[in-house]
Amino acid sequence: MTVLTRQVQRIRGPIEIGVMAFLREIGAMAMFLAATVRHIFKAPFEVQEMILQMYQVGVRSVPIVLISGFFVGGVVVIQFNYALSLFGAEVYLGGITTSGLLREVGPVLVAIMIVGRVGAYITAELATMKVTEQVDAIRCLGVNPVQFLVVPRFLAVSAMIFMLTILGLLVALLGGALVGNLILDINLSFYFANIRKLTAAWALFTGMLKSILFGILLATIACYQGMKTEGGAEAVGQAVNRCLVHCSIAVFLADYIIASLAALTYGLAEEIIF
């Protein structure tokens, strides 16, 4: 009994520290998000900076989103074709692929691509500014760094992930149809016939809701990790790495939560909409 107690004592410490660190991190992030949201509605509005960030985040990610969206559409159609052929249900291929892309694969894919492209970029930029004391310099000039640096990036990332998701979904649907036609030899009219029947407006709504949530999460995590960096050049690298890991986990966690909520409510929602 004493051995067991001692063992429990020995592992209790690290677990408690881990849980407390996790909760503290979540709390700090929530406070950071609250401060950012509070500053969104305060003048002066950094419109120029926001447009520059939108260009960096949005326009420069377009090629990546287009290429990866097209090929992921192709991958999904190939795999679903195989899975459905086991039941002899290939008739439904178009509907299932479209619905799956809109609801799940598209938003998650775009979010993951943007994590690699934008999350690392924003965290590295903010962390470098923090480490080289540029953030302190901004504060010395009487400008609020959250308002000047974080708010434009937050708004730009949140808005651009939403728009890039729409773009990515369009290309993924195109990729699914084209790959189905060219490689799997599926008649396009056959492919399109079931889309209307199996894809509800609710599917698109779920996907868009996910992309908005992902955008807010990624923007918060990337800016938070950048702004809390302390130390030298090594700390910048660690901050980028942490940002990538936390964003990946946050995307899948949020996806799971929305998927389970949708699973509870989809029957009801489809009844309301149709």
Q: Is 268 in the site for other proteins (CB under 8 A)?
A: no
Alpha helices in the chain (DSSP H): 2-40, 47-57, 62-85, 93-100, 106-114, 120-131, 134-140, 145, 151-182, 188-193, 195-198, 201-227, 233-273
Q: How far is the CB of 77 from other proteins (least distance, A)?
A: 10
Please state, in angstroms and rounded to a whole number, the distance separating the CA atoms of residues 39 and 268. Answer: 38
CA dist 1 and 21 (Å) reads 30
Rounded to whole angstroms, the Cα distance separating 202 from 196 reads 12
Which residue, among 80, 57, 61, has the nearest Cα to 69 in the 3D structure?
61
- The whole-angstrom separation of Cα 140 and Cα 136 is 6
Q: How far apart are CA 215 and CA 182, in angstroms?
A: 34
The two structure tokens encoding residue 178? 């084209």
**Which positions from 185 through 244 interact with other proteins, judged by CB under 8 A?**
198, 233, 236-237, 240-241, 244
**Does 116 help bind other proteins (rule: CB under 8 A)?**
yes
Write out the two tokens for 232: 């030298």
Q: Does 89 bind other proteins (CB under 8 A)?
A: yes
Site for other proteins contains 263 (CB under 8 A): yes
How is residue 25 written in tokens? Answer: 């991190």
Q: Which is nearer to other proteins, 103 or 215 (CB)?
A: 103
Interacting residue with other proteins among 25, 39, 46, 128 (CB under 8 A): 128
Query: Interacting stretch for other proteins, rule CB under 8 A, among 88-96, 139-147, 156-164, 212-220?
Result: 88-96
Q: Is 46 in the site for other proteins (CB under 8 A)?
A: no
Of 25, 35, 39, 64, which one interacts with other proteins (CB under 8 A)?
A: 64
Contact 191, 93 (CB under 8 A): yes
Q: Which stretch binds other proteins (CB under 8 A): 26-34, 68-76, 135-143, 212-220?
A: 68-76
- State which residue, 35 or 259, has the beta carbon closest to other proteins: 259
Stretch that binds other proteins, among 8-16, 21-29, 214-222, 251-259 (CB under 8 A): 251-259
Contact between residue 241 and residue 167 where contact means Cβ atoms under 8 Å apart: no
Give the residues lining the site for other proteins (CB under 8 A).
47-48, 51, 55, 59, 64, 67-68, 71-72, 74-75, 78-79, 82-84, 86-87, 89, 92, 95-96, 99-100, 103-104, 112-113, 115-117, 120-121, 124-125, 128, 183-184, 198, 233, 236-237, 240-241, 244-245, 248-249, 252-253, 255-256, 259-260, 262-263, 266
